Amino acid sequence: MGIHDNRLIKAAVFRGKGKAPAIEDVTIGEPRADEVLVRVVACGVCHTDMVVRDQLLPMPLPAVLGHEGAGVVEAVGSNVTKVAPGDHVVMSFAFCGDCYLCDSGHPAHCANILPTNFGGSRADGSTGITDTDGKPVHDHFFAQSAFAQYSLANMNNVVKVPTDLPLDLLAPLGCGLQTGAGAVLNALKVRPGSSFVVFGTGAVGLAAVMAARIAGATQIIAVDINADRLNLAKELGATHTINAKEEDPVTKVQEISVKGADFSLEASGHGSVLRQAVDCLGFFGTCGIVGASPLGSEVSLDINGVMIPAKRIMGIVQGDVIASTFIPTLIEYYRQGRFPFDRLIKHYDFADINQAIADSESGKTIKPVLRIGTV
Ligand code: CXF
Ligand code: ZN
């Protein structure tokens, strides 16, 4: 399907705090000089979409969400040279490209990460989407708003991908999967022979398990309260699992690792779990935080229990990766059978977006991916 002359497309519009989206007819504008118009083929559903729907991370509504989009480049602005019409792309997170953090190779920790991803518009306040009443709809969520047939991405956040792999497989690489894998391989730099514990076995946590095996960790411990997911974690590389409903994970990790864990990753978004992820570390152990919590969430720590064993706590956004190099690496691991992330995915029609969201929230589906268009 080509874009209609009047640029009328379908998009899932989130109109109120906590409310389910509805698919509406909206109009999308032309790409600006630094933008890429992408015909969206698929988009993953990530926990952060729900966090924003519920306004726990505020973004102005009504808005088109969706930030694990993948599709085919339809048109590019005059400054864009890295992709051309017809290219297959995965869209990832937005960053300003101008601040000292972007300059030092940490675009996921960009000083403008909140306005560029959650501002609900371009930097100048304009949106590319209007509803049937002619009113602007907030967009540019993660510079994509990909729960829609077309997306206005930025040249910064499109990653060219091979055309022989399906876009409805590759879509979630742009957020959840690179977050878990990047945390292990890039931020924590889990060492061969080390012990690694992940708290939370959603898409991020399971990506971390697969990455810990790639990194050569010899103890890979998955903690959750969902027995099915713990079984899947074992199939994907966990050497041990702990059901936190049945056993105390801190005691159990200390028993398994003897000296305490070298690395832990908090991927559940709960403060009480973060405390466990710190408590289970050994001397010089590092705990990474990737679970998104409501703004203002706090946790208490045993100060001497952190200081004396020289524990480290590391905040990690999007695995602190450069998406344009890390996503192709994950694709190579997939081809080699070392990162079988297809095991996490269940596909839904775009029209069933609310079922996909419900199945994600109930834990029935690990990574819902919406099929929005064809190649
Ligand atoms: C977010 C979490 C908050 C900062 C930006 C990235 N996660 C994406 O799903
Ligand atoms: Zn996400």
Q: Report the percent of the chain where pLDDT is more than 90.
A: 97
Q: Which of 140, 201, 211, 141 is nearest to 173 (CA)?
A: 211
Q: State how far the Cα of 217 lies from the Cα of 240, in Å rounded to an integer.
A: 12
Average pLDDT over every residue of 209-234: 98
CB 328 within 8 Å of CB 161? yes
- Indicate which residue's Cα is closest to atom 7 of ligand 1: 48
Residue whose CA is closest, atom 8 of ligand 1?
48
Task: Give residue 257 CA to ligand 1 midpoint distance, Å.
Answer: 31
Digit-coded pLDDT (tens) for 248-267: 999 999 999 999 999 999 99
Q: Whose CA is nearest to atom 3 of ligand 1?
A: 292
- What domains can be seen in the chain, in order of their start residue? 6-174+340-371 (3.90.180.10), 180-317 (3.40.50.720)
Gap from CA of 278 to ligand 1 centroid (Å): 21
- Reported as a single tens digit per residue, the pLDDT across 116-156 is 999 999 999 999 999 999 999 999 999 999 999 999 999 99
The answer to whether residues 77 and 153 touch, using CB atoms and an 8 Å cutoff, is no
From 49, 106, 141, 318, the mutation candidate for ligand 1 (largest count of ligand atoms within 8 A of CB) is 318
Whether the pLDDT of residue 181 is over 50: the answer is yes
Is it the case that residue 1 has pLDDT exceeding 70?
no
Site to substitute for ligand 1 among 117, 144, 147, most atoms within 8 A of C-beta: 117
Measured by CA distance, the residue closest to atom 6 of ligand 1 is: 317
For the sheet with 22-28, list strands across it: 63-64, 8-14, 22-28, 129-130, 136-137
CA of 242 to the centre of ligand 1 (A): 27
pLDDT digits (tens, 9 = 90+) for 269-305: 999 999 999 999 999 999 999 988 888 899 999 999 9
Q: Mean pLDDT over residues 186-210, rounded?
A: 98
User: What atom of ligand 1 comes closest to residue 46's alpha carbon?
Assistant: 9
Q: How far is the CA of 193 from the centre of ligand 2 (A)?
A: 30
If one residue of 54, 93, 316 were mutated to test the ligand 1 pocket, choosing by the most ligand atoms within 8 A of its CB, it would be 93
Pick the atom of ligand 1 nearest to 48's CA: 9
Res 258: pLDDT: 97
Q: What is the pTM of this model?
A: 0.97
Residue with the larger pLDDT of the pair 58 and 109: 109
Decide if pLDDT at 202 tops 50: yes
Q: Tens of pLDDT along 328-359?
A: 999 999 999 999 999 999 999 999 999 999 99
**Residue 4: band (very low, low, confident or very high) from pLDDT cuts 50, 70, 90:** low
Average pLDDT over residues 170-183: 98
Question: Which residue's CA lies nearest to atom 4 of ligand 1?
Answer: 317
Taking the centre of ligand 1 as the mean of its atom positions, its distance from the CA of residue 48, in whole angstroms, is 6
Ligand 1 center to 109 CA (angstroms): 10
CA of 317 to the centre of ligand 1 (A): 6
Q: 274 CA distance to ligand 1 centroid (A)?
A: 17
Span of 9-13, 55-59, 364-368 with lowest mean pLDDT: 55-59
Atom of ligand 1 nearest to the CA of 117: 5
Query: What number does the ligand 1 atom closest to the CA of 93 have?
Result: 6
Gap from CA of 132 to ligand 2 centroid (Å) = 28
Ligand 1 pocket at CB < 6 A: 46, 48, 113, 117, 175, 292, 317-318
pLDDT at 360: 97
- Ligand closest to Cα of 317 equals 1
- Ligand nearest to the backbone CA of 360: 2
Radius of gyration, alpha carbons of the chain: 20
Mean pLDDT of the chain: 97
What is the per-residue pLDDT for 2?
Answer: 56
